Each structure stands twice: as C-alpha cells, then as structure tokens.
C-alpha cells in the first residue's frame, strides 16, 4: 500500500515537472509563419501551391505533406519534421529533385525583350523593358525556374550557383542532381 502511494506521489511530481518543461505549442496562424520561415522562399510552386506561404498554410490546414519542397531538400524536410514532430521522409519525386542552388541566366544575344520572364518572376529579380534586353539580378534570383518556360526564344538557362567564401561565381549548369 505504502509502496503504491510512494510511486503515485513520485509519478505526480514527475508529471508536474514534465508539464512545465514541455515546449510552447504555437497557435495555428503562428505555426504557418514558422513553417514559412523554414521554407526556402523560392516561390517556385513546385510543391503544387502558388508560393511558400500558401504551402505553409496547406501544411497546417490541409495536411499537405512535408516532403514537397525540392529547393529546400533534405534540410527543410528535416526541420519541418523536427517542428511538427513527424518522421523525416524522402523528397516526393513527383515534385522534382533536390540539387544545388541554381540561378537563372539570360543569354543577352538571344533575348528579344518580350518581358514575359519579368512578369513570371516572383521576386522581381529580372530587370528590363519591352524590346530591351533583360538581365537577371543574380543575387536576388531564388532559382525558381518560373521564368524558363515563358521565354519564347529559350534564352534562359539555369546555372549552378557557386558560393565559396565571399566570392560568387557562376559555373556551368549541372542538370544532374546530387
């Protein structure tokens, strides 16, 4: 009898301590923001939603899976799994493959200045005017590839973004994912 009481008392003490040591469970709206902050913000739509925030919203409200973000790759999936307490899953191949960060490059000799890519760019990283040559601001480019399809003359290619220390240089495109 005494034994049971002792164990019971012990359990209660531990339960109280555990209760106070648990992390804050964020509200849903806050959670959307937190998830959004973990996403790479390429706004590429490869996840099937029109941007990172809508995907974050879908994860919270529509139970979208956490493995639909190719630009984020394993790292994002891991962080989402940690946050939401789920399993780490491999990237869903239906949404694309993970690879090194790439940036768009406009071949200025071919560009006809149709502004279609400027309209497609979600982060205004392409500058130019109608019938003027366009150029990608490399540092602003998120590598979403949304500008590639609209180009009527196929002058946009995605190049691997090499970041070594402070220097940023462009290497040849590598389509194979690592």
15 binds other proteins (CB under 8 A): no
| Closest CB to other proteins among residues 99, 122 | 122
Single out the segment in contact with other proteins by CB under 8 A; choices: 39-47, 90-98, 104-112, 149-157: 39-47
Could you say which of 64, 65, 78, 100 contacts other proteins (CB under 8 A)? 78
Q: In degrees rounded to 5, what are phi and psi of residue 116?
A: -65, -35
Cβ contact 46:68 at 8 Å:
yes
Distance CA 86, CA 95 (A): 20
C-beta of 96: minimal distance to other proteins in Å? 18
| Stretch touching other proteins by CB under 8 A, among 40-48, 105-113, 149-157, 169-177 | 40-48
25: contact with other proteins by CB under 8 A = no
Does residue 42 touch other proteins according to CB under 8 A?
Answer: yes
- Of 29 and 140, the one with the shorter C-beta distance to other proteins is 140
| Short-list 139, 149, 154, CA closest to 109 | 154
Tracing tokens 């760019």 back to the chain, one arrives at 121
Euclidean distance between CA atoms 111 and 104, whole angstroms: 13
Binding mask 127-156 for other proteins (x = CB under 8 A): -------------x-x--------------
* Contacting residues for 105 by C-beta, under 8 A, at least 6 apart: 136, 156, 157, 158, 159, 170
Could you say whether residue 17 binds other proteins (CB under 8 A)?
yes
115: tokens are 């502004």
Beta carbon nearer to other proteins, 112 or 115: 115
> In sequence order, what E strands does 42-149 have?
102-106, 126-127, 135-136
For residue 63, what are the contacts with CB-CB under 8 A and spacing of at least 6? none
Residue count (the chain): 178
- The phi, psi pair for 169, rounded to 5°, reads -135, 160
Determine which residue in the list 32, 35, 39, 159 makes contact with other proteins, applying CB under 8 A: 39
**Interaction site with other proteins (CB under 8 A):** 2-3, 6, 10, 14, 17-18, 21, 36-37, 39-43, 51-53, 75, 78, 82, 122-125, 140, 142, 163
């Amino acid at each position: 009898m005494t034994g049971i009481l002792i164990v019971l008392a012990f359990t209660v003490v531990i339960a109280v301590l555990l209760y106070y040591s648990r992390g804050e469970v964020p509200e849903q709206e806050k959670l959307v923001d937190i998830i959004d902050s973990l996403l790479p913000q390429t706004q590429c739509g490869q996840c099937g939603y029109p941007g990172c925030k809508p995907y974050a919203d879908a994860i919270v409200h529509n139970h979208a899976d956490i493995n639909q973000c190719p630009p984020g790759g394993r790292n994002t999936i891991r962080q989402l799994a940690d946050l939401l307490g789920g399993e780490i899953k491999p990237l869903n191949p239906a949404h694309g493959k993970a690879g090194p960060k790439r940036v768009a490059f406009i071949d200025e000799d071919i560009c006809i200045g149709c502004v279609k890519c400027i309209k497609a760019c979600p982060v205004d990283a392409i500058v130019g005017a109608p019938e003027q040559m366009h150029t990608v601001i490399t540092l602003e480019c998120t590598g979403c590839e949304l500008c590639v399809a609209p180009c009527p003359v196929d002058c946009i290619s995605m190049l691997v973004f090499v970041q070594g220390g402070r220097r940023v240089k462009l290497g040849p495109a590598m389509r194979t994912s690592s």
